[in-house]
A and B are shown apart, each in its own frame.
Chain A
C-alpha cells in the first residue's frame, strides 16, 4: 500500500511538474535537503521526498559549493550529481549555491526562500576532524532559528535501499588537484624574483624585506592555488632566513628577535596564502558553474521552443554532439522495440551489437556498451534518458578518440543535458497524449452528432416514402388522381432529399479521409454556374434566380465537379432558409488577383455569432421554421472543397436589406490558356 501510494504521488508530482503546475502547497511547508558528497546522499534525498509527501510540502535539494568542493574526488562529485538528479526526478527542485561553508549556504538559502524544514545527515567523524573543520550539521542547528532541522545519521541513509551509484564510464578516480609541476616552478620563480628584489633593496641599505616575500607568496596563492603557495611559503621562509637573517648564508638564526620575526612571517604567509587560495577556488568554482549553467540554460531554452518530437530529438542530438564532442544517436520506443529516431551526424541504423546494447539499456535502465560493465563490445555507449515516470529514450555515444568516451565532468554535463532532454521528450509525449485525448473526445462528439443527424435525416424522408408508398398500394382504389400524384410526388421529393443527404455524407467522409484531390483545370466560371443552377433547378423551383457575371471574367483553375457541388450546396442552403418567391442573386466580378463570387438571398440572414459556426459540421442555424432544416453538412463541405482549391468562403449578411450573403473568393491564375496559332 505504501509503495503504491508513493508511486501515485510520484506520478502526480511528475505530472504537475510536466504541466508546470505550482502546487497549492507552495505557501505551506517547504523542505530543504542538504546534499553532500557522502555515500548516503541519494538515499537522503529519497528520505526527504517521503517526508515532504507526508507534510504535503514542496521540497528542494541543495548542494553547497564550498572551496573544498573542488578537492572532491570524482566518485564524490558523482554522488552529488546523482543525488541532485534523483531529486529532480522525484519531483523536487535541485539547486547548487556557492558559499564559503555548507552551513552558510544552507541557512542563507533556507531563510531567503522561506523553508520550514532542513534535512541533513551527520557523518561519523573523529573528534579532531570535527574540531578542525567544524560540523555542518551542528552549525546548521545552531543557526537555524525557527526552521526545524532533521538530522539523519549517516549509517541510516547508507542502510536505506537505493540504486548503487557508479560511474562505469569515468576514466579516472583521482583527485582533481593533481601534481602540477608548472605551478610549483612558477611559485619557485616568484620566490626567486622576490629574493632578487630583496637583495637589490639590501644594496640600498633596506634590510626589512619580509614584505617582498609575503607579496610573492600571496601572488602564488592567487595564481596557482593553495598547495603551490604553501610551497612558496616554505621556500620563502628558508630563503629569507638564508639570505637576510644573520648569520647570513646559514639556516641558523643568532638573534632571538629574528626567530620571532621569522615565525610570525611564516604564520602570516600561511594564513594569507590559505585565504587567497580559498578566494581563488571560489572564483573558479563560480566560473565553471556559470559556464555549465549558461549551456544548460541555452539548451533548455532551445528545447522549450520545440513542439515536435523530431525537432526536439534533432536539437538534443546536436547539443550532445556539440558539447561533448562525440557522435550521437537517440533511440525511442517504437511498438514493442526501440528504434533510432535522430542522430548527429545523421545515422539511422545500428549494428547487431549496438542494437543489443541499446535494448538492454531500455530494459534495465542502466548504461551498457562501450566502456560499461554490460556488453562492452558494442561500438557505442548507451545511456538511458530518464524522468520520474521512467526511461523515455536511449542515447548512444561514440567517438574516434581511444580510451574513455567522456571525462567525469563531461559525464555530469551529459547527465544534466540528458535529464533536460528526457523531460522535454516527456512533455511532448504528454502533450501528444492530451492531443489524442482531445481528438478522441472531438471524434466522439462528432460521432454522436452524426448518429443524431443520420437517425433524423434518414428517418424523416424514409418515413414519408414508406408512408406514401403503403398508402398508394393499399388505398389505390380509394385515392383520386390528385391524391395519387401528391403521394408519388412526395416519394420522389423525399427520395431526392435522401439522396442529397447521403451524397453530403459521402463528400464529408471523402474530405475527412483526405480522399479529395482536386483535379484543377482551366474552367469558365459561367459554365459551372450554369450547370450548378441546372442541377439545383429542383430545389430552386420556388425561387427566382438572378445571375450577374461580369463579362470579362478570366478562366479559373478549379475542379469543376467539386466547384459545381459547392455552388449546389450554397444554392440549396439559400433555398432552404429564404422564403419561397424571394430572389436569390448570384454575381461574380474580378477583384485584383481574385475573383469574388457572391450569393445573396432574401431570408432572415445569419445571426452574428453563427457566421463562422455555420461552416462547422452538423451545425444548423436554429430557424423558426424547422421543417426545411438541412443536414448541417452542406456548408462544411463547401468550405472543405473551396479551401482544397485554394479559395476562401465566408458568410455574412447583406448590407442593403435582410438576407444572407455567402462570399467565395478564388485566385486568378497567373497565366490564361492561349490557343496555339492554328
Chain B
C-alpha cells in the first residue's frame, strides 16, 4: 500500500472529459494521470503507478475490453471502473465479466463516479480482512454468526437467501452481474429467473418498502448492487 494521494489513471480519448475529470478528481484529493488511448494507457499500467483505473470502453485502437483482459490475465487486481454508453448493456456486462469492478454510464454526474471510486478502493482495502459485522441503514449482517437483523429484529433467511446476501455484502457498493451471482450462489449458471425470485423474497425480508428498494438496487440488464456503508 502506498501512502499519499490515491492515483487515478483516466483513459479517455475526449479531451473535455479528461479535463473535467482532472479538475474534479484533483479537488477531491486524487492525483490524476491521463492517457488518451490504449497503448499509452498500457505503458503507464506497466509502470504500475495507478491505484485505480477509469477506462472509456469506446477507445480507438486497442479497445477497453482488451485492456481489462490483459490486466486481469497478468494477475493485476487494480480496481477498474468503465465508462460506457447508455444503450450498451451487453458491453457493460462483458466488461464486468472480464473483471472490471464497476461502471458508470455516460453522461454521468460526478457524485456517481466518486461513489464508485470509493467503493472500488474500499473493496481493495477490505480484501485483507472482512469485517465481522456489516451494517448499512437498518440492516446488520453478522458474518461470523450468520445472523441477519433488520431494525434490530432478527429475520430468518433460507440458506440460499443468506448466501445471496453474503455475496452482496462481500462486494457492497459494487455492481454484481447476474452471471457472477449465479456462479457464486448457485455454483453454476442457471436461469436468471431464479435469481430474480430470490432477490424479490430477500427484498421482502430486508427492505423497508420492497416496492421501492433502497438496499438492493437493480441495474437493469446488468445485475444488482447492495448499498455500501457510508
Contacts and interface: CB of A to CB of B under 8 A. Distances in A.
Interface string A501-534: 0010011001000000001011110111111011
Contact of B107 (A499, A533, A547, A673): A499
Contact of A529 (B190, B197, B199, B211): B211
Given A527-B199, A547-B211, A547-B212, A560 B221 contact: yes
Interface string A661-678: 000000000000101101
Nearest to B198: A675
Contact of B196 (A507, A524, A676): A524
Contact of A527 (B107, B160, B218): B218
B209 to A, nearest CB: 8
B97 interface: no
Contacts of B211: 526, 529-530, 547, 549
B162 to A, nearest CB: 14
B89 A561 contact: yes
Contacts, number: 64
A88 to B, nearest CB: 57
B144 interface: no
Contacts of A675: 190, 194, 197
Given A510-B87, A555-B193, A526 B220 contact: no
Interface in B62-88: 86-87
Interface in A531-558: 531, 533-534, 547, 549, 555
B191 interface: yes
Interface string A444-483: 0000000000000000000000000000000000000000
B168 to A, nearest CB: 15
B212 A555 contact: no
Given A521-B192, A523-B196, A561-B89, A528 B210 contact: no
A154 interface: no
Nearest to A533: B212
Nearest to B85: A506
A118 B57 CA distance: 82
A528 B190 CA distance: 21
A275 interface: no
Interface in A613-637: none
A495 interface: yes
Most buried by A among B109, B210, B213, B218: B218
A673 B193 contact: yes
Given A560-B220, A560-B221, A561-B220, A530 B213 contact: yes
A74 interface: no
Contact of A522 (B86, B89, B160, B193): B193
Interface in A411-438: none
A531 B107 contact: no
Interface string A637-678: 000000000000000000000000000000000000101101
B200 interface: yes
A678 to B, nearest CB: 8
How many B residues are at the interface, by size bracket?
A: 20 to 34
A555 B197 contact: yes
A503 B88 CA distance: 12
Nearest to A503: B86
A527 B196 contact: yes
Given A506-B87, A510-B87, A675-B194, A526 B217 contact: no
A677 B40 CA distance: 52
Interface residues of A, number: 30
Interface in B167-201: 190-194, 196-197, 199-200
A600 interface: no
A676 B190 CA distance: 10
A564 interface: yes
Contacts of B190: 675-676
B200 A527 contact: yes
B89 A673 contact: no
A673 B213 CA distance: 23
Nearest to B199: A527
Nearest to A586: B211
A571 to B, nearest CB: 13
Given A503-B86, A564-B220, A673 B199 contact: no
Contacts of A560: 218, 220-221
Contacts of A510: 87
A492 B221 CA distance: 26
Contacts of B160: 678
A534 B217 contact: yes
Interface in B129-146: none
Most buried by A among B89, B193, B194: B193
B194 A673 contact: yes
Nearest to A564: B220
Nearest to A535: B220
A492 B108 CA distance: 11
Contacts of A678: 160
A654 to B, nearest CB: 22
A530 B197 contact: no
Interface in A479-505: 492, 495, 499, 503
A560 B222 CA distance: 10
Contacts of B199: 524, 527
A531 B217 contact: yes
Contacts of A492: 109
Contacts of A521: 192-193
Contacts of A531: 217-220
A212 B193 CA distance: 100
A675 B201 CA distance: 14
Contacts of A524: 196-197, 199-200
A485 to B, nearest CB: 15
B217 A555 contact: no
B192 A530 contact: no
A678 B196 CA distance: 17
The 10 closest A-B pairs by CB, nearest first: A522-B193, A673-B193, A561-B221, A531-B218, A547-B211, A564-B220, A560-B220, A524-B200, A524-B196, A561-B220
29 contacts: A506-B87, A507-B87, A510-B87, A521-B193, A523-B196, A524-B196, A524-B197, A524-B200, A526-B200, A527-B196, A527-B218, A528-B220, A530-B211, A530-B212, A530-B217, A530-B218, A531-B218, A533-B212, A534-B212, A534-B217, A555-B193, A560-B221, A561-B89, A564-B220, A673-B191, A673-B193, A673-B197, A675-B190, A678-B160
Given A555-B193, A676-B190, 9 more contacts: A499-B107, A510-B87, A519-B221, A521-B192, A522-B192, A526-B210, A549-B211, A675-B197, A678-B160
